[in-house]
Amino acid sequence: MSATAWAWLVLLFPLLGSIVIGLSFKLIPAKVAGVIGTLSIALAFACGLGALFTLLGEDPEARHHASSLWDYANAGGLDIKLGIYVDALSIFMVLVVTGVSTLIHLYSYGYMQSDQGYHRFFSYLNFFVFSMLTLVLAGNFVLLVVGWAFVGFASYALISFWYRRTTATRAGMKAFVINVVGDIGLVLAAFLIFQQLGTFDYGPAFEKAPEVFSTNEWTITAICLLLLVGAFAKSAQLPFHTWLPDAMEGPTPVSSLIHAATMVTAGVYLIARTHVFFELSPTAADIAAFVGLATLLVAGTIALVMTDLKRAIAYSTMSQIGYMIMGVSIGAYSAGLFHLMTHAFFKALLFMAAGSIIAAMANNQNIDKMSGFGKAMRFTSITFLCGALALAAFPLTSGFFSKDEILAFAEARGGMYLIFTVLGYVGALITAIYTFRLVFRVLPGRPCKEAQELIDSGHVAHEAPTNPATGEAEDTDVGYPGADHHIAEQSWPMRAAMSVLAFLALIGGLIQVPGVDDVLEKWLDPVFENSPYLEIHPSLEADYIGLTIGGVISIIGIYIAYLIYVKHPGLTARMIERMRPAYTLFANKWYFDEIIDLLIVRPALAIGRFANRVFERFVVDGLVTGTEETVRGAGGVVKAVQNGFVRSYALLLVAGFAGLALYFLISSS
């Protein structure tokens, strides 16, 4: 079978899964829904593998195919097809997405077991995977926008999955609104692309672009900046990032899949896919790189002081995506995508382990209340540690190789880009510190009461669920997990998924060890064949120096965390006292929420109020009521004629007749 046929199958299975589960939710038991959901993604993964092997059998130069099912619109110069584009990049993304999704579906099979909305969950999750695959496989900008929007919807549906929680619905709306802002940027970019290049399809567009645009011409810069708006909104980069921490209101598998491994990486994929445009507009590419760098650092500092476990990991995600965006913007395409893949492994794993811990804590996510889980939950702790090591780029883990490759490339590019290398290493240090802050807070030490309960009786603690943010009681009828929480130790699907990811997190980097093998680079390079950055290769020494520095920094960071959080417990409080302004800034998330509220939300609300009070009341109502009053008045006048008196009717008759006769007399004279 051809690669495109495999690709269509990849799209088909999740869609079918979503529809089947969605329509039959009353008919099939919950477990069956879970099986269908997981199987459909597994099948998609298998088809992805099929496409991979088909492509491998072809010449590297020829590994790009477009295929379309039918035409959407074919008039007035528009030629939009339902078409996909299969090449090394899209199959890479397909495999990452479906692979990690299968594992997360498996995890959810166990984790969401006592949830009332089990069917709905799997249907939404399958739909999300379908949308993400559409986004990744799309062959023209229109289908890309379609996939983009679907993914945004799926994210909204899954964030507000427990829809009776006000915090969840608010978070869902916030995510959706910010996503729409990104969608607008993307759509405008698509319009501009069509206007300038005359086509929406990838192949022709990328071929024509270098001929139509000269470097840094304002049109191509505008296109790139609009694409960046979309990418940043989806990938939670500054200043569009405020939705991601709130998105942790969704169930943990959702955070794991959407907000760690797949959806938030869509921005990275977008920049990589449209690299031709970004190479034509180095200004925009540099802006993207700096935004990535800024996000990296800001998110890292916030993660240092965040006390909510899931939100801390969310900020870590934001920070790592900053690395990826930085990577693909400065031209380190395969390095950035490599980091995307390894990040998917260890971040999904971290969220899964965090989910297990939070379940043991009866859904309390505050790390100040957690300790001693190392003894209480062996398996979860080990996997958590694996993920943390990879995140901190501990030597020989997957994160180690991927992160350093980006920084080595920046150094090889030289000049201004050394800033990225230096600050990238600073960010790596911060990453190591905050990651192991979490590890040392939660795992070692005297077991907290929930952990103790687990050790003593093997019994997961639970109390009447209340929403910690608002204090209102949770509605367990709708689906917020009731009294039953599921931890990895007691659920084999969860353990299976986490084991695979732990394994990958640890050894996944070995496919791209500098000087030893470069599997990924060989695979992805033909996609970027016309890029000038392909020539830039860090020398082997530079690579190894970079790796060494990275490893050393990682170990130093872990040691610092050890000192602060294990050796000298009171140190944190004293540091906070000493650096109170910095602490306040970080703890308040650099006041982004407040700034956006001031600059955007309040004016919008004010405009709305104005429109309601003034415009609606006087202009619109005035018009409508005015018309009504006029008509009623006219009616009233005419109504006076019908007074019921026969004689007045007769009078009118005679008057009319007299008038008519007069008219005829005059007209005939």
Residues found near other proteins in the complex (CB under 8 A): 639, 641-648, 650-651, 654-655, 657-658, 661-662, 664-665, 669
**Residue of 269, 203, 193, 271 lying closest to 66 (CA atoms):** 203
CB of 662 to other proteins, least distance (A): 6
Alpha-carbon gap, residue 582 to 225, rounded angstroms: 32
How many alpha carbons fall within 13 Å on the CB side of residue 13?
22
CB of 667 to other proteins, least distance (A): 12
Query: Quick one: 75 or 638, whose CB is closer to other proteins?
Result: 638
Query: Quick one: 584 or 643, whose CB is closer to other proteins?
Result: 643
Query: Quick one: 607 or 651, whose CB is closer to other proteins?
Result: 651
Burial (Cβ within 10 Å: 0-12, 13-18, ≥19) of residue 470: exposed
Alpha-carbon gap, residue 84 to 82, rounded angstroms: 7
| Single-letter amino acid, residue 422 | V
Output phi, psi for 82, to 5 deg.
Answer: -80, 85
CB of 658 to other proteins, least distance (A): 5
CB of 632 to other proteins, least distance (A): 14
State whether residue 101 is helix, strand or coil.
Answer: helix
Query: Quick one: 53 or 657, whose CB is closer to other proteins?
Result: 657
CB of 640 to other proteins, least distance (A): 8
Alpha-carbon gap, residue 325 to 234, rounded angstroms: 12
Query: Quick one: 459 or 647, whose CB is closer to other proteins?
Result: 647
Identify the DSSP state of 597: I
Element (H, E) at 66: strand 64-73
Query: Quick one: 457 or 669, whose CB is closer to other proteins?
Result: 669
Query: Quick one: 70 or 645, whose CB is closer to other proteins?
Result: 645
**Residue of 516, 499, 539 lying closest to 396 (CA atoms):** 516
CB of 628 to other proteins, least distance (A): 19
> Cα–Cα distances in Å, from 570 out to 377, 468, 564, 565?
26, 26, 8, 8
CB of 668 to other proteins, least distance (A): 9
Identify the DSSP state of 308: B
Q: Where are the alpha helices (DSSP H) in 392-518?
A: 398-413, 418-442, 449-457, 492-507
Query: Quick one: 27 or 665, whose CB is closer to other proteins?
Result: 665
CB of 657 to other proteins, least distance (A): 7
65 - beta bridge partners?
86
Judge contact between 289 and 315, C-beta under 8 A.
no
